[in-house]
Amino acid sequence: MKTKKSKQLFDLKGKVAVVTGASRGLGFAMAKGLAQQGANIVITDVLPTAKAVKKIESLGVKAMGLKVDVTSPKHIDAMVKKVVSRFKKIDILINNAGIYYPTPVKDLKEKEWNKLIDINLKGTLMCSQTVGKQMIRQKSGNIINVASVAGLMAFAQSAAYNVSKAGIIMLTKTLAAEWASFGIRVNAICPGVFVTDMTKGLLKDKGFQKMIKASVPLQRSGTPDELAGAAVYLASDASSYTTGHFLVVDGGWTIHL
């Protein structure tokens, strides 16, 4: 009896989840985690989605791939129409698409600032708005925004990224406050350092490796699969009384904040 109950707590069977930037990396790992709990998955990305879709389908759920640039209102509108036409609803949205590049503030070009803020922060807002309107019609929904520990502590040479992630945390709280009455929960995840295409250059650097060992209590970076549990928790009824929260998954890096 106890086992059955705890299984139901994280069950996502029949749910429809849209994950942005999910062809690879953390987005794919979270999509896979939700699929393993029974959710049907929509993989969206500017990169090809076919391989990721195939891997998700091999888990026994339905999957769909869509080319979506999160800075394009046209793409986002089309995404919602296509998903609702096939699945009739959207239960979960994970705003994961993001980019990072290091630049000292003194050299930061307006164009670079705009591009990063457009993808990371405005993309999260626009996908939430458009999918949110569908969720408001349904009177239910669950949005998970991928922020970062960079939204909590300042990393040098990363002004646009830090600001975009701090903005995502405040956007999460604001949406949670506005949409609770529609049955929509909105939470964020703040990952520490995970091994993905985004960080592979940094992780090759001996100084960075040394810093991780010294500053992260678990003394290592995370693997993408280690983020899946946080997404499953926030997407499922296990977190039914949690909204406007940011869940830090960082091996203890921010323990002293």
Minimum CB distance to ligand NAD smaller for 135 or for 146: 146
45, 90, 135, 158: residue in contact with ligand NAD (rule CB under 6 A): 45
10, 18, 24, 92: residue in contact with ligand NAD (rule CB under 6 A): 24
CB of 142 to ligand NAD, least distance (A): 18
- State the greatest distance between any 2 C-alpha atoms of the chain, in Å, as a whole number: 61
- Interacting residues of 129 by C-beta distance below 8 A, sequence separation 6+: none
Paired with 145 in beta bridges are: 95, 188
Residue 244 and residue 169 in contact, taking contact as beta carbons nearer than 8 Å: no
The one segment of 8-16, 177-185, 192-200, 241-249 that binds ligand NAD by CB under 6 A: 192-200
Return d(Cα 200, Cα 118) in angstroms, integer: 23
Decide if residue 199 touches ligand NAD (CB under 6 A). yes
Catalytic annotation, pick one of 100, 101, 161, 233: 161
* 47, HSE (Cβ side, Cα atoms, 13 Å): 15
The one segment of 15-23, 102-110, 171-179, 206-214 that binds ligand NAD by CB under 6 A: 15-23
> 161 catalytic, yes or no?
yes
The one-letter amino acid at 240 = S
Number of residues assigned to the chain: 257
Catalytic residues: 161
| Chain residues in the site for ligand NAD (CB under 6 A) | 20-21, 23-27, 45-47, 68-71, 96-100, 119, 146, 148, 191, 193-194, 196-199
